[in-house]
Amino acid sequence: MADARRYFGTDGIRGKVGVGPITPDFVMKLGWAAGRVLGRSGGKGVLIGKDTRISGYMFESALEAGLSAAGVDILLLGPMPTPGIAYLTRTFHAHAGIVISASHNPFDDNGIKFFSGDGLKLPDDTELAIEAEMDKALATVCSKSLGKAHRITDAAGRYIEFCKSTIALGTSLAGMKIVLDCAHGATYHVAPRVLEELGADVVTIGDEPDGLNINLNCGATDTAQLCREVIAREAHCGIALDGDGDRLIMVDAHGQTVDGDEITFIIARERQKRSALKGAVIGTQMSNLGLEHAVRTLGLDFKRAKVGDRYVMEMLLADGGTLGGETSGHIICLDLTTTGDGIISALQVLDAMNRTGHPLHTLKAGMSKYPQHLVNVRMERMVDVTSLRTVRDAVRQVESELADGGRVLLRPSGTEPVVRVMVEGRDDAQVRRLANDLAAAVQGALTSAA
């Protein structure tokens, strides 16, 4: 069903600003179409939040116009983390929440994604219904039925209190020095206050957004500056969020990064100790084999979803689970909230440090990461490389050499014309050699098939 979608990808609609579909006229029509579909439910308007990109103002106005033309009230949140918008959509009993963000992408990209009234991503049939409305001529409701716009002035404060409530009442981070990188993004005015109000000594970087510097050499996609600051400040740890606040990467006191797989393991182990974990721990096809082995060593089940937090969420809901994550730092604590949340995930790790008295590098030591090498092979056109005989032969040869000590994954990118070739195993040199050999075989097969 999802394959029939023309505009919606796995994480909404995203692209370069000014290039279709990320244009003001398209976004206004999208707001109108969404209002026509989502306004049929019994909610109290549609929330709109955004990250700190300069284009966010333009698209906020376009969505507001479209929704109003459809007769739907609008609640404007201003700059807010994506998970904060999901939370407020639920608490305001809104029709839906709309996020204007391109997440970890550079400032000249932007995108639109939706949350349903329960704070979850829209189901496929709703996205298809919105796309069907896009084919119709925009018709404005009569003037007395136009939607009204209201600005929510206490949105940040509401979300801050919610974040703090996800760890035990009375928990204090006093005595803990933390370097926090907000990626010049949507958490710049929220995350520092959460940590400070819990008692931490916070050194904040990446908290001066100018509309152009979001994710630029900072945040969860580039932790080099954070690593340096943690060491220079002699901090207990570092926290890196991405531009819209749904990703988390951490840094230990030695300046070493702690990725989403390691964070997922730390939370899983702590939840297990308190009998607070349900169902299997969910990773993705890209999750490190070390995470799978570490989780199973705890006596827990581990399952892999397709890459994308949407699919992690789908598997959690189907399995009745409460914890899932991606290597990139999307961590879903479904017992606490309805989407990946960088701030809430960080609090779970800080709480584990508090409860155990162990530093972050000790907590992550319970999981040994397997060497993993990824090579991107460009495609001139979309091809199912697994259907090519020479590629299948090359994969079998690599799997034979790895035996039971590794795995191979070929995965087309959902956002660019490349196929990702990943090999994982116990020996780093072997993994790199096999990944490069397999990538060369894939490239050769694509050339021959062109």
**Active-site residue set:** 103
Strands (E), 28-92: 46-50, 74-79
Closest by alpha carbon to 443, among 398, 378, 388? Answer: 378
Dihedral sign (CA 272, 276, 280, 286): negative
Residue indicated by tokens 């023309």: 6
Any idea of the CA torsion for 207, 213, 219, 225, to the nearest 10 degrees? -90
Among 175, 255, 259, 249, which Cα is nearest to 218's? 249
Q: In this structure, are strands 74-79 and 149-151 parallel, antiparallel, or unpaired?
A: parallel
Strands 331-333 and 323-325, by their bridges, are antiparallel
Max CA distance (Å), the chain? 71
Q: Do residues 102 and 110 make contact, with C-beta atoms less than 8 angstroms apart?
A: yes
Six token digits for residue 132 = 């069907």
Centre a 10 Å sphere on the Cβ of residue 122 and count the other Cβ atoms it contains: 20
Q: Are 100 and 56 in contact (CB under 8 A)?
A: yes
Are 90 and 161 contacting, i.e. CB atoms less than 8 angstroms apart?
A: no
Query: Could you tell me the two tokens for 80?
Result: 């807010």
